[in-house]
Structure 1
Amino acid sequence: MPLHYPFSAVVGSDDMALALLLNAVSPSAGGVLIRGEKGTAKSTMVRALAGILPQIEVVAGDRFSSAPADRGTDTPDGPIPLDAPTELRPVRLVELPIGATEDRIAGSLHLEKALSEGVTAFEPGLLARAHRGLLYVDEVNLLHDHVVDQLLDAAAMGRVTVERDGVSVEHAARFVLIGTMNPEEGELRPQLLDRFGLTVEVSAPREAELRAEVVRRRVAFDSDPEGFCATFAAEEVALRERIVAARARVGGIELTDWALTKIATVCAGFDVDGMRADIVTARTAAAHAAWEGRDRITRDDIRVAARMALPHRRRRAPFDAPGLDEDLLDRLLGDDDEPDPDPDLDTEPDPQAKAPAGDDNPGADGAAGDVDTAGNDTAGNDTTGGQDAGSGASAEHADPSASAEDCGRAESDAAQDEPSPDTGTDAGADTGAERRPGGASTEPGTVTAGSDPYRTRLLTVAGTGHGVSGRRSRAITTTGRRTGSTGFTGSDVHLPATIRAAAPRQAARGRGAGLDGGRLVLSARDLRSAVREGREANLVLFCVDASGSMAARTRMEQVKTAILSLLLDAYRRRDTVGLVTFRGSGAQVALPPTSSVDVAAARLAELPAGGRTPLAEGLLTAAELLRVERVRDPQRRPLVVVVTDGRATHGPDALARSRAAAAGLASLGVASVVVDCESGRFRMGLASELAAHLGAEHIPLGEVTAEGLTHTVRTRTAARQSPAHPEGEVA
């Protein structure tokens, strides 16, 4: 068995180590999510944790790791005898692969027994194996949401219920859920973040001496694993003994009124939703007190617990970054611990005495309330509160709900901000500005902030794909309604189709001739898997015009608000997003395709505008990026969103080159949309022509919103039915 890197040998990750140890002391803390950049020993430390946990006693031979106290109860394998022998074994660390299916996680029909013996038997999944142990999910943010929901529900309830493939069972599944993730690859939804008890942020140390020590220890371990582990054996034993002592102590720690009130004050002060934060903070504070060898909860215990239990619950809107203001935390906690009770003082405090005001005394108005120690709380899943990234535009900016036509009227009154169609130059173009060969202009541009995002219309890719499950376009996926069957793929057995495939062959297989007892005779070639139709996630590639014509007055604010709204829609639909921008003399990939729409929103907020319009370069860059992504992920269908007014002013024959580039992009067979940003009374209609060359849907900027589209449809319908336009005549 390979040796794992010792837990005590990891340096520079104190918060991560403490969060893991507190969950080892009190699994009711709810697991831990570790967020950090790559190469920060996240996986190393999680795997090392199992090595310092005390062994557990289990019923010998039991597939569900039942404890001695469970003897006499039922499991899916039947009742456990009262005299069943027990044995000691190490705590299991079960790793969940990214591609694990639902039946592999929760369990399903035992196919071998069904085929060979004709009986219905249950094959336990990874959750059963993780019972009374650790369940580790690396890159948990890359798991599909319904799988994460399944894991978190099992971790919260301590049981798994399986209703599939003719199997109906329930079994215990109490484990510590540990997830690691790199935020650059996408975030978890706020409601999923809330289900993790604790979260910690880790990063590589910046001190040269500490980094050198990390390398020194890793090299020593790789060259002599046994010798290196022997060096830290005493420290590993000491940690194990300390965990055992803390577990024995944690049950006797009292949650006093002072501690509960302090916890309630902190959680209310940070405006977290629901009561889960209070419960997790209380349990973690008790675990920390036990870990430190105390019998009472102190201010320091609550502070440590709040630092781990609250940051991810502060993220209320999708683009909000997790975080905690530690100065505010200190003000809410005050400076003093709970005073020691005086055993010689028999008198009760005067209930009429007025408590002094201040942060140290939050009042006696019942703020603490009753804590549901059973954990039957309700998650706060409100994602409408707070303010998204890119918000905060000043009051002088136009209302984001205003139509593009209204903005155009204001812009048409300021001709100096608009380029002349005869000159072929954009406003803000500086002929003396420095240019980057073959790329975007290095000239400075104007940075404009967007406003609060709104609900957008649904943009989809036509046809039926075979991509990753999501919420945008129609596709054959692993989830959704069952529409047919196919040859067996290893999971999701379609029983009716399997029986239909076997039925014509029963006579040839001797059924009814006394050879099989009358049972249905099946073979492996009869097996069928279900074909399900659901929704897939797409690659949404934004190709954004950031030239001078887009920078006119409030137009860029409108554009950024529309793109931010589309990014929010992509976040909710589990899409991958990319960003190509063009201005000045070229185009650049501002953001390669990623699952982190948070990063895309940040890049959008920093996007400057100004200079000429290299439309052809922008389309060519988008086409090249799509070619690369098609090789990397051929099943993820792209949706290109070109945001422009259609003008092309850079280089000779700019308009002709842009039309040729559009035709080249269309030849890739990708779905595309042109968001037309042209406004004003007199329009050239260039964006509409670009959409025709792309074979794309043409959407005016004012119709990106769901409400704007509804208003346009109603207006046109009313116009058709008016006396001036008899029915059937289009204005």
Structure 2
Amino acid sequence: MTALGQRTPTYPFTALVGADELTTALLLSAISPEIGGVLVRGEKGTAKSTAVRALAAVLPEQHVALGCRFGCDPDRAEDCPDGPHDGPGTTRPARLVELPVGATEDRVVGSLDLRRALGEGEAAYQPGLLAEAHRGILYVDEVNLLHDHLVDVLLDAAAMGRNTVERDGVSISHPARITLVGTMNPEEGELRPQLLDRFGLTVHVAASRDPRERAEVVRRRLAADADPVGFAAGYERSEVELTERIAAARAGVREVVLDERTLRTVARVCAGFDVDGLRADIVTARTAVAHAAWQGRTHVTREDVRAAALLALPHRRRRSPFDAPGLDEDLLDRLLDEEPEDDPPGGDEPEDGPDEQPDGGRPDEQQRDGDGRTTGGPPPTPDGSDDTPPSGRADSPPEPSAEDHGAQDPDDPSDAQAAPPAGGAAAPVGTASAQAPYRARRLELAGVGSGPSGRRSPALTPRGRVVGTHPAGQEPAGAPVHVTATLRASAARRAARTGPARVTGDDLRHAVTRGREANLVLLAVDASGSMAARRRMGEVKTAVLSLLLDAYQRRDRVGLVTFRGAQTEVALPPTSSVDAAAARLAQLPHGGRTPLAEGLTQVARVVAREQVRDRHQRALVVVVTDGRATAGADALARARVVADGWSRAVPTAQTVVVDCESGRFRMGLAADLARRMGAEHIALEQVAASGLVEIVTDRTGTARNGRSAA
């Protein structure tokens, strides 16, 4: 047992089992901090946090300037507010600073020292977590749940290597070279693309399926919990040896040679995977150099480039949150094995036409053998597809309507056959495939809310445009100090000759700031046979997928309720993981009758339950249906009863009905449903932002032509 007051040692880094890729990524980032840190993705219970916290214990000590609040290196000239740094300096252990998900911006960037400001009248700066993490590791557990305003702060610091504070009468800039390490569970939502790209390396960890390895993990964890000191002592020698090896690799990085041929290989690999920008090339090159130093080599080899690409590229080739992370290792090996082309004499391009292939084809033509494998031309795209534009986009010709194929029973599941998806593979019977998502129109709630910060609806948020001040003593937690209003209140009090002649706590005023909030977006999808009778289900899924992408970009929580046949189902309880919603949507079958009343009742239950869980988060309900109700006796009458009482059932939610009815003759049932629910009514074609533009353009042109004719 640990003695009272003695600090419990961290789990040893060298005691980790079966986490080779994770430990390699962390060590390479420690050897070369310029790589940009590590993002660790994985399911819960896979030792992500344990590994990161254990890393700090094996890092070599740092040489720091005496009396510097920011821990600057005295041997390096830095623009530091506490500089210049003269003298021998001292050493300290490498720092691991944890940034809590619920931290305030003042705590992260630093702020006005209110104690000194109110007591001594001095506008002094109080350093934050970025200052503490300078030259160390800034660790964010559950980084995908970090508030947007903190993400912006991290982006600035990671890009500039400095933290600049201009607020509350404080103007200061200090060095903040941080190694950003984040852990996350993808089921809880994805990262913003800007922050994702700032992580140099990414690793996906999963629990081993080997019983022996799993048993060894449990054995060591139980031993560490029973006797932390004794367990750590058993790995002390290996920890010291690892520290010495890290120090040697850091010194050896400067001696590693990355020759021109290998550099071209790095560029060819990054281009072959079609990653955006050139940051991937830079990070891959730096990682390959660090890997060579870690292996004790002085030249970068093919093995180093391969290891670097597997860590630096997977998260950079994702185009949307619905794309699965990962790298095609077969394509990587083909790109690595290609012979780089030498420059022509004089550095000029050859004037001859493109070289002919042995079979007479040109280099830009794909040649395939009997098994369908590529034998010539440029490498295939990372997902294995060719360059043919995908079908089904917003600008693609519409699919033939039901009238072109004969009459169908809208509620007969046998008629609800889906068109085969792009690529030629037949879709399962009764399951339509979504096409590429498009940019959806903005759907936002009316009024001003007070929910969590996001990008959808107007709200009073901790950060945004200042629109007033809170009454003294009634400010909410986290409200920023309004310096001007505080000084004005202090001056008014002194003019009235009450209280001391300085700013006091009673003079403090806090700003009312207005921005945008995230909402609960609950999608209720009618998957009955009538939705697919005119081959509309593929279009419906595409529209819902587009709304999910919009929800991801606006930081919303999403839920999915489906109804078909004789049942309703909460296919996905409200979550921040839109890719989980997309996966459930892809598996959604269709067919059968329409239990519309039951579906709306289920939606009302989910909204009410979520309102109890978080009364500040407002809900946006999107009902995707053609308005038919055919399941059970008096189905349409029961649906209308539920719709008439909708505003009483969900008083805090706002609703949009997406009308999926098509064909020459329409019954207008969805429009009637929207009127009864007090909801906004839009046609399926109007979900796309481009569709709205076309509608407005058409109407404007018609009006203009009418005036011209008059």
Q: Which of the five TM-score ranges fits, normalised by the shorter chain?
A: 0.7 to 0.9
- 1:157 Cα deviation after fit: 2.2
How many angstroms apart in 1 are the aligned matches of 2:525 and 2:389?
Answer: 20
How many angstroms apart in 1 are the aligned matches of 2:396 and 2:201?
Answer: 42
How many angstroms apart in 1 are the aligned matches of 2:207 and 2:496?
Answer: 67
Asked whether the 8 Å contact 2:531–2:626 carries over to 1, the reply is: yes
In structure 1, the residue matched to 2:370 is: none
In structure 2, the residue matched to 1:417 is: 408
How many angstroms apart in 1 are the aligned matches of 2:523 and 2:333?
Answer: 43
What are the equivalent positions in structure 2 for 1:383-398 lying under 5 Å apart?
A: none
- 1:542 Cα deviation after fit: 0.5
Whether 2:662 is the aligned partner of 1:679: answer: yes
How many angstroms apart in 2 are the aligned matches of 1:598 and 1:525?
Answer: 49
- 1:335 Cα deviation after fit: 8.8
Once the two structures are overlaid, the 10-residue window that deviates more, 145-154 or 113-122, is 145-154
- 1:721 Cα deviation after fit: 7.1
State the SS of the aligned residue for 1:160.
Answer: strand
Whether 2:692 is the aligned partner of 1:709: answer: yes
Alpha carbons of structure 1 residues 6 and 81: separation in structure 2 relative to 1, 3 Å? closer
Whether 2:465 is the aligned partner of 1:481: answer: yes
Whether 2:639 is the aligned partner of 1:666: answer: no
Whether 2:103 is the aligned partner of 1:100: answer: yes
Asked whether the 8 Å contact 1:393–1:450 carries over to 2, the reply is: no
In structure 1, the residue matched to 2:191 is: 188
State the SS of the aligned residue for 2:255.
Answer: coil
Alpha carbons of structure 1 residues 267 and 410: separation in structure 2 relative to 1, 3 Å? closer
Once the two structures are overlaid, the 10-residue window that deviates more, 521-530 or 232-241, is 521-530
In structure 1, the residue matched to 2:607 is: 626
How many angstroms apart in 1 are the aligned matches of 2:601 and 2:631?
Answer: 14
In structure 2, the residue matched to 1:279 is: 282
Asked whether the 8 Å contact 2:327–2:382 carries over to 1, the reply is: no
- 1:13 Cα deviation after fit: 0.9
- 1:350 Cα deviation after fit: 9.8
State the SS of the aligned residue for 2:91.
Answer: strand
Q: Which amino acid aligns with 1:476?
A: L
State the SS of the aligned residue for 1:477.
Answer: strand
- 1:120 Cα deviation after fit: 0.7
List runs of 5+ in structure 1 lacking aligned partners. 338-348, 359-384, 420-425, 431-443
Q: Which amino acid aligns with 1:411?
A: A
Alpha carbons of structure 1 residues 81 and 11: separation in structure 2 relative to 1, 3 Å? closer
Once the two structures are overlaid, the 10-residue window that deviates more, 712-721 or 122-131, is 712-721
Computed over aligned residues only, the root mean square deviation of the Cα atoms, in angstroms, reads: 3.1
In structure 1, the residue matched to 2:451 is: 467
Q: Which amino acid aligns with 1:529?
A: H
How many angstroms apart in 1 are the aligned matches of 2:390 and 2:103?
Answer: 48
In structure 2, the residue matched to 1:553 is: 534
- 1:553 Cα deviation after fit: 3.4
State the SS of the aligned residue for 1:154.
Answer: helix
Aligned residues: 653
Whether 2:299 is the aligned partner of 1:301: answer: no
In structure 2, the residue matched to 1:28 is: 34
How many angstroms apart in 2 are the aligned matches of 1:454 and 1:351?
Answer: 47
TM-score between both structures, scaled by the size of structure 2: 0.86
What are the equivalent positions in structure 2 for 1:426-465 lying under 5 Å apart?
A: 426-428=411-413, 446-465=430-449
Alpha carbons of structure 1 residues 721 and 25: separation in structure 2 relative to 1, 3 Å? closer
Q: Which amino acid aligns with 1:75?
A: C
Asked whether the 8 Å contact 1:318–1:388 carries over to 2, the reply is: no
State the SS of the aligned residue for 1:699.
Answer: strand
How many angstroms apart in 1 are the aligned matches of 2:511 and 2:485?
Answer: 8
Alpha carbons of structure 1 residues 414 and 328: separation in structure 2 relative to 1, 3 Å? closer
How many angstroms apart in 1 are the aligned matches of 2:700 and 2:178?
Answer: 59
In structure 2, the residue matched to 1:369 is: none
How many angstroms apart in 1 are the aligned matches of 2:327 and 2:383?
Answer: 16
Asked whether the 8 Å contact 2:155–2:198 carries over to 1, the reply is: yes
- 1:657 Cα deviation after fit: 1.9
How many angstroms apart in 1 are the aligned matches of 2:567 and 2:393?
Answer: 32
Whether 2:86 is the aligned partner of 1:82: answer: yes
In structure 2, the residue matched to 1:441 is: none
List runs of 5+ in structure 2 lacking aligned partners. 1-6, 357-380, 416-427
How many angstroms apart in 2 are the aligned matches of 1:32 and 1:194?
Answer: 11
Asked whether the 8 Å contact 2:559–2:572 carries over to 1, the reply is: yes
What are the equivalent positions in structure 2 for 1:210-225 lying under 5 Å apart?
A: 210-225=213-228
Asked whether the 8 Å contact 1:580–1:618 carries over to 2, the reply is: yes
Alpha carbons of structure 1 residues 681 and 572: separation in structure 2 relative to 1, 3 Å? same
State the SS of the aligned residue for 2:198.
Answer: coil
How many angstroms apart in 2 are the aligned matches of 1:427 and 1:388?
Answer: 37
How many angstroms apart in 2 are the aligned matches of 1:581 and 1:290?
Answer: 55
How many angstroms apart in 1 are the aligned matches of 2:457 and 2:271?
Answer: 41
Q: Which amino acid aligns with 1:82?
A: D
In structure 1, the residue matched to 2:548 is: 567
- 1:220 Cα deviation after fit: 0.7
Once the two structures are overlaid, the 10-residue window that deviates more, 482-491 or 521-530, is 482-491
> For 1:523, which of 504, 507, 527 is the aligned residue?
504
After superposition, give the CA deviation of every residue in 1:667-695 in whole Å (9 maximum; x if it has no partner). 22210000011122222211112112211
> For 2:70, which of 64, 73, 88 is the aligned residue?
64
Give the % identical residues: 60
Alpha carbons of structure 1 residues 722 and 334: separation in structure 2 relative to 1, 3 Å? closer
Alpha carbons of structure 1 residues 680 and 630: separation in structure 2 relative to 1, 3 Å? same
Q: Which amino acid aligns with 2:61?
A: Q
- 1:204 Cα deviation after fit: 0.6
> For 1:584, which of 565, 569, 593 is the aligned residue?
565
- 1:529 Cα deviation after fit: 1.6
